[in-house]
Amino acid sequence: MDWLHFINNFAWVAGNILVAYTAFAIVVFVIGYYVLFDPRATTAGKFIFRFMLSLVGVIILVFIGTYVDPSPNRDWSFLPPDVKSWRPILRFLIYGYVAFTITSLAVLLAIRKWRPNKVKSAQDRDLVELRHTKEIPVIHQE
């Protein structure tokens, strides 16, 4: 079981590093989303902004519990002895997935904003390409 302790130690510390990264990424994303895009322009944009803002609150609580005000005699860089053996790996996987999804969303938004020709998915490309509007009647004022 020595290898499990080594893996859990690594997963615990890596999970804590992912929490710090995720906190930073979420705050940067929320600020960037508000500055670069108009979250009020669409219902989906408003809900994405609100969801990410709610994640800021959750990750702030986790960040405080990990770094600012941890349980007594706990250091973020050491696996606590009373943690169940399944928790560090699960924690690492969840924080890693959250960090991955936030980073992916931020990268996609940046690509769509500044390099729309680099969008690979046909569905996403349809959203950023100019649409032909010949079928829509246009009224010209003279």
Residue 37: name the closest of 131, 112, 100 by CA. 112
Q: What is the pLDDT of residues 79-92, one digit of tens each?
A: 887 778 888 898 89
Check: pTM over 0.85? Answer yes or no.
no
Tokens found for residue 62: 């986790």
Report the C-alpha gap between 29 and 74 in whole angstroms: 30
What is d(CA 95, CA 21) in angstroms, rounded to the nearest whole number? 10
Burial class (CB in 10 A: 0-12, 13-18, 19+), 116: middle
Tokens of 100: 């991955």
Could you read off the pLDDT of 95-126 as tens digits, one per residue? Answer: 888 888 888 888 887 887 788 787 776 555 55
Distance CA 52, CA 27 (A): 9
- Measuring CA to CA, which residue among 118, 14, 92, 109 is closest to residue 52? 109
